[in-house]
Amino acid sequence: MSIAPDFKIGIRLALRARFVPIAVSLIVVLALTALLAGQFSGRQPATVTLDVGLSVIRLGTPLVAVFLLQELVLKEFDRRYFLNTLTYPRSRWRFFAGRLASVGALTFALLVALGVALAAATAAAGRGYAAATPPSLGWPYVITTALIALDLLVVVAMGGFLSVVARTPSFAVIGTLGLILVARSYSVVVALLEKDPTLVLSAPTYQSSVSVLGYLLPDLAALDVRMIALYGRMDFLPPNIEIRALSVFAYAVAFFGLAVAVFNRRRLE
């Protein structure tokens, strides 16, 4: 038995939970915010439009992913829907994988729509302005968007793990958002302390404590490579980005595996 039935049910539940209006609203917010930022900027409008738009995407898409996790996974336990769902002859892991697959598919579809809208807004903002270093909407933009998709894969896997571990929906939502924030910021803090140790007292101790997070959480900040798209220069791509991307993907697989293992052993009551 495949995960297709649970995948289709997840898609239907998301559509019933008004996913389409939320997605359209986010696309409109992205277009308006990016275009207005570009038009009122004092420098290259296309570059500013793309920069602000990527920030909106990195901020908005995880929120939508967490919303979908709440609707498709958390409410299953909070409202005891599993008493009906799991009465059919199916394994738990197929049910869980189908729901997470539907969350991932809808989130990635939204990312593609946002990427197309941002590309159109960037092209519109750059008309009539001859920039010395125009943004690139070719392969650099595709690579940037693909790494954002990898970031979202970790968000979905991490949120799925907390969904089966947490006993209350609020803990899973807040915990997922908190872990995303930490995973996107701890490496930046470490790099900042390396450049200026005078920012905090006992900088070496603080830096070593923060560095421990690197063994527990993926470095999502390394996936933000927007500079290659903003200025059209591939030399801005961080070194060993392939290894970093593979390590982040490994974290996503590990979180998913842990979630399945916990869910298979969880006592549903």
Per residue in 127-158, pLDDT (tens digit) is 877 677 889 899 999 999 999 999 999 999 99
Average pLDDT, rounded, for the chain = 87
**What is the arithmetic mean of pLDDT over 181-209?**
75
What pTM did the predictor assign? 0.90
Are the C-beta atoms of 103 and 69 separated by less than 8 Å? yes
Are the C-beta atoms of 61 and 107 separated by less than 8 Å? yes
What sign for the dihedral angle of Cα 246, 143, 239, 34?
A: negative
Cα separation, 67 vs 61, in Å, equals: 10
Cα separation, 127 vs 114, in Å, equals: 20
Cα separation, 31 vs 39, in Å, equals: 12
